[in-house]
Amino acid sequence: MLDCASCDKPNIMDAAHVTAFAKELVKEIDMVAYGEPQVVNFGTGNKAGFTLVQLIETSNICAHFCNDTGDVYLDVFSCKPFEIEAVKKTVAKYFKAKAMKVNFVKRQASEERIALSA
């Protein structure tokens, strides 16, 4: 997960640019896209902006772009390992964030089983 502050507003408000970003990111992290990226502009006030959803064979890439602040919130979720630096580099190239906060969560349900009681 990347929280990106004060990105280049014209780039985050351009559907073609966001789409190109999604396609390049898929290649850079060696994933396989399932269909085209979905880029939808919606919301009101300080929550308005594009939301990106790109399905990949091993899960998905989702992002929200905030027009008001220029902030970008990106989640890359995959069962297949990928290079975090490749994600950061691609985000920097397309959106020129002034700051990035990385949150990495390793999920592995098969390593540890938790019994749930009804």
Cα distance between residue 108 and residue 113, in whole Å: 10
Cα distance between residue 96 and residue 90, in whole Å: 9
Domain count, the chain: 1
Q: Which domain holds residue 79?
A: 2-102
- Kindly tell me if the per-residue pLDDT of 45 is higher than 90: no
* Single pTM value for the model: 0.89
Please report the pLDDT score of residue 106 as a whole number: 83
DSSP string, 78-116: ESS---HHHHHHHHHHHH--SEEEE------TTT-----
SS3 29: coil
Give the residue carrying structure tokens 């994933």: 31
- Kindly tell me if the per-residue pLDDT of 72 is higher than 90: yes
Please report the pLDDT score of residue 9 as a whole number: 97
- Kindly tell me if the per-residue pLDDT of 63 is higher than 80: yes
How does residue 112 score in pLDDT terms, banded at 50, 70 and 90? low
Please check whether residue 113 lies inside any domain of the structure. Answer: no
Please report the pLDDT score of residue 113 as a whole number: 59
Nearest to 53 by CA among 32, 29, 34: 34
Please check whether residue 38 lies inside any domain of the structure. Answer: yes
Please report the pLDDT score of residue 89 as a whole number: 98
How does residue 53 score in pLDDT terms, banded at 50, 70 and 90? very high
Considering the chain, what is the average pLDDT of its residues? 93
CATH number at residue 63: 3.60.90.10
Residue 85 CB burial class (10 angstroms; 0-12, 13-18, ≥19): exposed
